[in-house]
Structure 1
Amino acid sequence: MTAALIFLGAAVGAPLRYLTDRVVQARHDSLFPWGTFAVNLAGCLILGALTGAGAAMPHSVLALAGTGFCGALTTYSTFSYETLRLAEQKAYFYAAMNVVVSAVAGVGTALLAHMCVAAMLG
Structure 2
Amino acid sequence: MNWLVVVVGGMIGAPLRYLTDRAMQARHESVFPWGTFVVNVVGCLVLGVLTGAAPVGPDLRLFLGTGLCGALTTYSTFSYETLRLMETGAGLYAMANALGSVAAGLGAAFAGVALGQLVWP
Tell me the TM-score range normalised by the shorter chain: over 0.9
Distance 2:119 2:97 in 1: 32
Structure 1 partner of 2:85: 86
Amino acid at match of 2:18: Y
Distance 2:45 2:118 in 1: 15
Distance 2:84 2:41 in 1: 20
Structure 1 partner of 2:34: 34
Deviation per CA, 1:39-91, whole angstroms, max 9, x where unpaired?
Answer: 1111111111111113x101000000110000000000000000000000010
Matched residues, percent identical? 53
Alignment of 1:14-29 (within 5 A): 14-29=14-29
Structure 2 partner of 1:119: 118
Alignment of 1:96-115 (within 5 A): 96-115=95-114
RMSD of the TM alignment (CA)? 0.8
Structure 1 partner of 2:47: 47
Give the TM-score taking structure 2 as reference length: 0.97
Q: Secondary structure at the match of 2:36?
A: helix
Distance 1:85 1:40 in 2: 18
Moved over 6 A (4+): none
- Where does structure 2 lack aligned partners over 5 or more consecutive residues? none
Give the TM-score taking structure 1 as reference length: 0.96
- Where does structure 1 lack aligned partners over 5 or more consecutive residues? none
Distance 1:59 1:120 in 2: 18
Q: Secondary structure at the match of 2:84?
A: helix
Distance 2:34 2:47 in 1: 20
C-alpha deviation, 1:37, in angstroms = 0.4
Amino acid at match of 2:21: D
Structure 2 partner of 1:10: 10
